[in-house]
Amino acid sequence: MSDSRPSYLAHHFDHLEQQKQSATLGIWLFLITEVMFFGGLFLGYIVYRGLYPEAWHLGSGKLDIALGATNTVVLIFSSLTMALAVRSAQVGNRKGCAHYLLATIILGSMFLGIKAIEYSHKFFPGPDSHYFLIPGKNFSLASPYADQVQIFFSFYFTMTGMHAIHMIIGIGILIWLYVKALKGSYHEHYYNPVEVTGLYWHFVDIVWIFLFPLLYLIGRH
Amino acid sequence: MNLLFDLLPVQATEYAKQVDALYLFILAISAFFTLLFVGLLVGFTLKYRRRTQDERPEPPHEHYTLELVGGAVLLALLMGMFFWGAKLYFKAQRPPADAMEVLVSGKQWMWKLQHPSGKKEINTLHIPLGKAVKLSMTSEDVIHSFFIPAFRVKNDVLPGRYTQVWFKPEQEGTFHLFCAEYCGTEHSRMIGYVRVLSQEAYDRWTMNLGDADETPVQAGGRLFAELGCIACHRPDAGALGPDLTGVFGHEVALSDGTTLIADDNYLRESILNPQAKLVAGYAPIMPTFQGSVNEEQLAQLITYIKSLSN
Amino acid sequence: MSSAPDTSATAMPKNYLNEKITVSSWLLTLDHKRIAILYLVSLLAFFLIGGLAALVFRVELMTPEADVLRSETYNKFFTTHGIVMIFFFLIPSIPAVLGNFLVPVMIGARDFAFPKINLASWYVFMFGGVLALIATIAGGVETGWTFYTPYSTMYANSNVILAVCGAFIAGFSSIMTGLNFIVTIHKMRAPGLTWFRLPLFIWAMYATALVILLGTPVVAITLVMIFVERAFGFGIFDPALGGDPILFQHLFWFYSHPAVYIMILPAMGVVSELISCFSKRRLYGYRVIVFSSLAIAVIGFFVWGHHMFVSSQSTFAGLTFSFLTFFVAVPTALKMLNWIMTLHKGSVSLASPMLYAFGFLGLFVIGGLTGLFLSTLATDIHLHDTYFVVAHFHYVMVGGGVMGFLGGLHFWWPKITGRMYPEGLAIFAAIVIFIGFNLTFFPQFQLGVHGMPRRYHVYPEEFQVLHIASSTGAMVLGFGYLIMGAYLIWSLKFGKIAGKNPWNARGLEWETDSPPPTHNFHETPVVRHPVYAYEYASETSNEPDVQSEKGHV
């Protein structure tokens, strides 16, 4: 057996199938932990929205729906390129895999860029928004619900911040995959890392698909 | 009280005796199972101890009768405990209607108490014998917990809302009062005493040592006028705010179509955050009184509004 | 065991310990056995720190007044004890040490599915641990291990942020370990090793890993919320803004109650192995024990509110959580029943690991039954936040968890190190620990019933006698641990060579050398029997076990 072992089969596995199945089970378990992680935030969000619906309405109205929607589209496209990267690796298109990974990295970075612009609007209120919307001592909003809107923004920043951290980690992994993909490391016999990262990327995407309506759209009915 | 020999602390209320009966029931069951288990453990170990190294005991046969019967018997006992405990818990949650209300405010690291007569005290609670007392409690800072072991009562005291405990002391004497929820540096010094006095002694104490000019209801009424509440909350038609007479304890229709029963926490919220649950038919014009009244004044206002219902 | 004890190091054949001995070969190792040793050493260091903190405040508590420590310092000591013992000793203890060492060996695998993640878990753990230690040394933390808001976020004047980060990071190490366990147990079992041939220790690890994976992320996000509230001033639980501190308690206990099962389920797994081996037979009701572990793991997620009966959660919530809590007692009691029935008609030997198992049984039965007083609503109202609770969870976590850990450590010590420890001393230490433990914690039940609240620095005088008893016990307990540490270290060099299977136990780990070679087995084992097949000579052979002990002690 040992003479025929390919370099990409780790020593402690008997065969490739076992290695592949382990990686897949592992990432799914990891995604379950991620669901629980974000679940805690969603729970807090739900509890407070139940307590302070008006504040949630007000807070939601202060978010930039155009930027949020653009980001949603960007992220959905990045999921498409990610899926195409996995597909390319599966059919042995090594070059295509690398290119699609690069595209995913670019789209992911675009998302973060737009997010940064959005954050900066809250820090540096412009002509159309007069309020400093970072929770804390300096939070300013002329509303009887200002305190509860502050809680809304605490959740907004914590949720989108946690999501952004996941994006940054994802982009880091993608860059590493891209470097290896350029060398042609992923092909029809071995594409675990690309597939597993793809699942992670889609998960992060789905979290945003939940965040967008809950944060941006909930106040506009 | 001798801790080495007394199974239970002093029982100064009827409720304490009832809790202790349940305690003894669980204790008896626990002792029985502990002795049975340890007895079997020792017995089997002695009887079936390894005599030679070549011993090969038969593997056990898989049959589940024992497990099923054992599990069912246990579950029945456990459900008994649950219902017994739940019954007493209900009792502890529901103060009698005629209970005397004492306002309690926890603060790092002291208990501030105010009697219906307006008398205030710190860390020592004087109460009359044989009369139900309800404590309406809130905290000015962190979470505390109000614990009187002799009465077997305890409840956390939270910032931003009211919680309550009640008891009806049936033994004169002095009992410990502890803060049971860790609240910072001097947590262990946030203690005091509950002194149960005879009714005459309590009345004497209230009058002789009374340094209060006004009762909570009086203070609340004064605030009600001073803060201008009375300008809008009037009984006549055309008033900008709802009339508060008879509001407490009754159903209120809200602007979003729902209804609720006006309780302490609702009144509190309506003073601090008036638009949260707006009464139907009124414009959201009331300002918040967050910051303009302290916890003590808030409690007095609420007591006053309650008094309008009687 | 070898009749002519040879203590020279050269006598050991090539194994995971002596194959390479450079520092980097240890720090960069991907071998699960070496990672287990790394964990063992670090965990014992944390245990020592947590234990010393406890001794200091036990000394303080010998008198009702403050004489050794100021209140601030006292609070920092009990917080250190709690944080270190829970997050950095008990939660990882059995999984990260015994589990890491044994899971692949017991299922006949060469390593975990993800060896790099396994190593990373240790580094992550150490990083979290160092942060927590810096927090406690440079100024201290005084919130209690529970980090209740608003105290932790707005009032505490200490290194809450660092400690929260430490606990948060350590959580990831748990998750990595748990994930590795589940994947490995699913995908890497030896041929013939079906699910119901798995040793109960593996089942316990599996159930524990499930709890870790589902619970730990929730405490992680809860700690993140504490972090942003304290560090950035984001209002999340702040009552002044309308935030709800009770929400924090719900989130916190959603993990921290199941965390109790992370600490106790592995110990139950160890005890199952010990009782089987030292009764020389398959466990009575093997499947019942399997399913009770899974049941405890599942039900454990629905009972967290029993920590909050007096927190002002609704009456209905109190009733529901009390009701559900009683259901945990049933699978737990069934385990006890099955263990005791295994002894019945067995061949019981009282070797030192079995003494720890008996210690576990005796203490855990008390720990478990005193839990009934706390799941019953009316009695819990009185006992909540008193020393009764302190005594109860020490009976479960130390009497159960630590006893299980020590029993397992003694049982597998010859497998891990290749050498035996002195049995006489081990028995002596086990008895000292048992006595010391009971002397420390039994009086605390009485203290609690009489109303002594926990986390009290000074206390009314009538409680003093029992506090003195408790503090004395703590010293006896510490002394017991010291003896144990001393002879275990001694045995590393001077212990008798253990041989493959010194206890004549069944299980794949006993089929390989002691210590095992780097890849665990010289050839992949094939399992031919149901679990604990004492009627056969070994797991992989069909020969009946005739006098297999000849030549063994």
Q: How far is the C-alpha of C402 from the C-alpha of C97, rounded, in Å? A: 13
Q: Find the CATH number of the domain harbouring B164.
A: 2.60.40.420
- Closest C-alpha among C104, C100, C132 to residue C119: C100
Q: Integer distance in angstroms from the first to the last C-alpha of chain C?
A: 6
Q: Residue B211: pLDDT above 70?
A: no
Enumerate the residues of chain A whose CB falls inside 8 A of the CB of residue C235: 135-136, 147, 150-151, 154
Query: Which structural domain, as residue segments, surrounds residue C322?
Result: 34-510
Across the interface, do A33 and C188 touch by the CB < 8 Å criterion?
no
Residue B70 lies in a domain: yes
> Are residues B114 and B200 both part of a single domain?
yes
Enumerate the residues of chain B whose CB falls inside 8 A of the CB of residue A56: none
Tally of structural domains, chain C: 1
Residue C519 lies in a domain: no
Chain-centre distance for alpha carbon A107: 12
Structural tokens at position C130: 């160092």
Residue B231 lies in a domain: yes
Q: How far is the C-alpha of A42 from the C-alpha of C536, rounded, in Å? A: 55
Chain-centre distance for alpha carbon B273: 25
Residue B56 lies in a domain: no
- Closest C-alpha among C398, C383, C400 to residue C447: C383
Q: Which residues 6+ apart lie within 8 Å of C113 measured at CB?
A: A12, A13, A22, A26, C180, C183, C184, C187, C188
Q: How far is the C-alpha of C95 from the C-alpha of C78, rounded, in Å? A: 25
- β-pairing, B100-107 vs B133-139, is parallel
pLDDT (0 to 100) of residue C438: 97
* Residue A54 forms contact with B (CB below 8 Å): yes
- The residue type found at A153 is F
C-alpha torsion B12→B15→B16→B20, nearest 10 = 150
Residue C532 lies in a domain: no
- The residue type found at C49 is I
> Are residues B90 and B111 both part of a single domain?
no
Residue range A141-152, pLDDT digits in tens:
777 888 899 999
Residue B288 lies in a domain: yes
Across the interface, do C372 and B1 touch by the CB < 8 Å criterion?
no
CB neighbours of residue C524 within 10 Å: 13
Give the ranges where C61-154 is alpha helix by DSSP (H): 71-85, 91-92, 100-106, 115-137
Q: Which residues 6+ apart lie within 8 Å of B64 measured at CB?
A: C285, C288
Chain C residues 176-215 within an 8 A CB cutoff of chain B: none
This prediction's pTM: 0.89
Q: DSSP code of A212?
A: I
> Are residues B253 and B277 both part of a single domain?
yes
Across the interface, do B275 and A145 touch by the CB < 8 Å criterion?
yes
Which of A11, A150, A158 shows the shortest C-beta gap to C225?
Answer: A158
Q: pLDDT band at residue C11, thresholds of 50, 70 and 90?
A: low
Of the residues C183, C186, C189, the best mutation for testing chain A's interface (the one with the most A CB atoms within 10 Å of its CB) is: C183
Residue B173 gets the label, from left (phi > 0), alpha (psi -120 to 50) or beta, of left
Residue C16 lies in a domain: no
Q: How far is the C-alpha of C190 from the C-alpha of C107, rounded, in Å? A: 6
Sheet holding B173-179, edge to edge: B124-128, B192-197, B173-179, B144-148, B153-157
Structural tokens at position B44: 């089997």
Enumerate the residues of chain A whose CB falls inside 8 A of the CB of residue C186: 22, 25
Residue B53 lies in a domain: no
Which of C285, C373, C532 shows the shortest C-beta gap to B23?
Answer: C373
Q: Residue C402: pLDDT above 60?
A: yes
Which of B275, B288, B290 shows the shortest C-beta gap to A54?
Answer: B275
Enumerate the residues of chain A whose CB falls inside 8 A of the CB of residue B273: 144-145, 147-148
3-state secondary structure of C388: helix
* Residue A188 forms contact with B (CB below 8 Å): no
> Are residues B159 and B222 both part of a single domain?
no
pLDDT (0 to 100) of residue A218: 84
Query: How many degrees, rounded to 5, is the angle at CA A164 between CA A161 and CA A170?
Result: 150
Enumerate the residues of chain B whose CB falls inside 8 A of the CB of residue A145: 273, 275
3-state secondary structure of C348: strand
pLDDT (0 to 100) of residue C464: 94
Q: pLDDT band at residue A128, thresholds of 50, 70 and 90?
A: low
3-state secondary structure C185-244: HHHCCCCCCCHHHCCHHHHHHHHHHHHHHHHHHHHHHHHHHHHHHHHHCCCCCCHHHCCC
pLDDT (0 to 100) of residue B11: 93
Average pLDDT over chain C reads: 92
Residue C502 lies in a domain: yes
Enumerate the residues of chain B whose CB falls inside 8 A of the CB of residue C336: 37
Q: pLDDT band at residue C546, thresholds of 50, 70 and 90?
A: low
Q: Residue A156: pLDDT above 70?
A: yes
Structural tokens at position C59: 């000394």
Q: Residue B228: pLDDT above 80?
A: no
Question: ipTM score here?
Answer: 0.92
Q: Residue B210: pLDDT above 60?
A: no
Residue C424 lies in a domain: yes
Domain ranges of chain A: 37-216
Enumerate the residues of chain A whose CB falls inside 8 A of the CB of residue B288: 144
Answer yes or no: are the C-beta atoms of C338 and C289 closer than 8 Å.
yes
Answer yes or no: are the C-beta atoms of C329 and C365 closer than 8 Å.
no
Enumerate the residues of chain B whose CB falls inside 8 A of the CB of residue C532: 59
**Phi (first) and psi of residue B251, to 5 degrees:** -75, 140
Q: How far is the C-alpha of A188 from the C-alpha of A97, rounded, in Å? A: 11
Enumerate the residues of chain B whose CB falls inside 8 A of the CB of residue A54: 275-276
Q: Residue C550: pLDDT above 80?
A: no
Q: At what angle do helices A16-51 and A146-182 cross, to 10 degrees?
A: 170
Residue B227 lies in a domain: yes
Answer yes or no: are the C-beta atoms of C454 and C496 closer than 8 Å.
no
Tally of structural domains, chain B: 3
Of B141, B174, B207, which residue constitutes the final position of a domain?
B207
Residue B303 gets the label, from left (phi > 0), alpha (psi -120 to 50) or beta, of alpha
Q: Find the CATH number of the domain harbouring C278.
A: 1.20.210.10
The residue-averaged pLDDT of A150-165 equals 95
Q: pLDDT band at residue C4, thresholds of 50, 70 and 90?
A: very low
> Are residues B154 and B247 both part of a single domain?
no
pLDDT (0 to 100) of residue C538: 73
List the single residue in A with minimal CA-CA distance to B287.
A144
The residue-averaged pLDDT of C318-347 equals 94
The residue-averaged pLDDT of C389-414 equals 96
Residue length of chain C: 553
Percent of chain C clearing pLDDT 70 (strictly above)? 96
Q: How far is the C-alpha of A87 from the C-alpha of C48, rounded, in Å? A: 53
Q: How far is the C-alpha of C18 from the C-alpha of C30, rounded, in Å? A: 15
pLDDT (0 to 100) of residue B213: 65
List the single residue in A with minimal CA-CA distance to C252.
A40
Q: What is the DSSP annotation of chain B? A: --TTT-SS----BHHHHHHHHHHHHHHHHHHHHHHHHHHHHHHHHHHTB--STT--PPPPP---HHHHHHHHHHHHHHHHHHHHHHHHHHHHH---TTPEEEEEEEETTEEEEE-TTS-EEESEEEEETT--EEEEEEESSS-EEEEEGGGTEEEEE-BTS-EEEEE-B-S-EEEEEEE-S--STTGGG--EEEEEE-HHHHHHHHHHS---SS-HHHHHHHHHHHTTHHHHB-SSTT-SB---TT-TTSEEEBTTS-EEE--HHHHHHHHHSTTTTPBTT--S-PPP-BTTB-HHHHHHHHHHHHHTT-
Across the interface, do B290 and A147 touch by the CB < 8 Å criterion?
yes
Give the ranges where chain A is alpha helix by DSSP (H): 16-51, 53-61, 65-90, 94-123, 146-182, 192-211
Residue range C198-234, pLDDT digits in tens:
999 999 999 999 999 999 999 999 999 999 999 998 9
Q: Residue A137: pLDDT above 50?
A: yes
- Closest C-alpha among C408, C398, C311, C418 to residue C54: C398
How big is chain A by its Cα radius of gyration, in Å? 21
- β-pairing, B192-197 vs B124-128, is parallel
Across the interface, do C454 and B183 touch by the CB < 8 Å criterion?
no
List the single residue in B with minimal CA-CA distance to C553.
B53
Residue range C240-266, pLDDT digits in tens:
888 999 999 999 999 999 999 999 999
Residue range B115-154, pLDDT digits in tens:
988 888 889 999 999 999 999 999 999 999 999 999 999 9
* Residue B273 forms contact with A (CB below 8 Å): yes
Q: Residue C539: pLDDT above 80?
A: no
Q: Which subunits count as partners of chain B given 3+ CB pairs below 8 Å?
A: A, C
Chain A residues 127-186 within an 8 A CB cutoff of chain B: 144-145, 147-148
The residue-averaged pLDDT of B213-224 equals 82
**Residues in a beta bridge with B259:** B253
Residue B49 lies in a domain: no
CB neighbours of residue B300 within 10 Å: 26
> Are residues B128 and B162 both part of a single domain?
yes
List the single residue in B with minimal CA-CA distance to C284.
B60
Enumerate the residues of chain B whose CB falls inside 8 A of the CB of residue C146: 182
Enumerate the residues of chain B whose CB falls inside 8 A of the CB of residue A148: 273
Q: pLDDT band at residue B215, thresholds of 50, 70 and 90?
A: confident
pLDDT (0 to 100) of residue B306: 87
Q: pLDDT band at residue C1, thresholds of 50, 70 and 90?
A: very low
Across the interface, do B274 and A144 touch by the CB < 8 Å criterion?
yes
> Are residues B141 and B121 both part of a single domain?
yes
Q: How far is the C-alpha of A201 from the C-alpha of A79, rounded, in Å? A: 7
Q: At what angle do helices C423-449 and C387-396 cross, to 10 degrees?
A: 150
**Phi (first) and psi of residue A207, to 5 degrees:** -60, -45
Q: DSSP code of C434?
A: H
Residue range C293-307, pLDDT digits in tens:
999 999 999 999 999
Chain C residues 220-249 within an 8 A CB cutoff of chain B: 239-240, 242, 245-246
pLDDT (0 to 100) of residue A123: 79
Of the residues B254, B269, B275, the best mutation for testing chain A's interface (the one with the most A CB atoms within 10 Å of its CB) is: B275
Residue range A54-88, pLDDT digits in tens:
899 988 988 889 999 999 999 999 999 999 999 99
Residue range B254-286, pLDDT digits in tens:
888 888 888 888 888 888 888 888 888 888 878
> Are residues B89 and B136 both part of a single domain?
no
pLDDT (0 to 100) of residue C549: 43
How far C228 CA lies from chain A's nearest CA (Å)? 8
Of B207, B225, B257, which residue constitutes the final position of a domain?
B207
Of the residues B254, B260, B273, the best mutation for testing chain A's interface (the one with the most A CB atoms within 10 Å of its CB) is: B273
Q: Find the CATH number of the domain harbouring B225.
A: 1.10.760.10
Answer yes or no: are the C-beta atoms of C529 and C278 closer than 8 Å.
no
Residue range C484-515, pLDDT digits in tens:
999 999 999 999 999 899 998 999 999 999 89
Give the fold, CATH level 3, of A37-216: Four Helix Bundle (Hemerythrin (Met), subunit A) (1.20.120)
Q: How far is the C-alpha of C182 from the C-alpha of C378, rounded, in Å? A: 40
Query: Which structural domain, as residue segments, surrounds residue B79?
Result: 1-43+66-94
- Among the listed ranges B259-273, B290-304, C259-273, C531-545, which one has the minimum average pLDDT value? C531-545
Chain C residues 437-496 within an 8 A CB cutoff of chain B: 446-447, 449-451, 453-460, 462-463, 465-466
Residue range B42-81, pLDDT digits in tens:
999 999 998 888 788 888 887 788 889 999 999 999 999 9
Q: What is the DSSP annotation of A6-63? A: -TTS-TT-SSHHHHHHHHHHHHHHHHHHHHHHHHHHHHHHHHHHHH-HHHHHHHHHTS
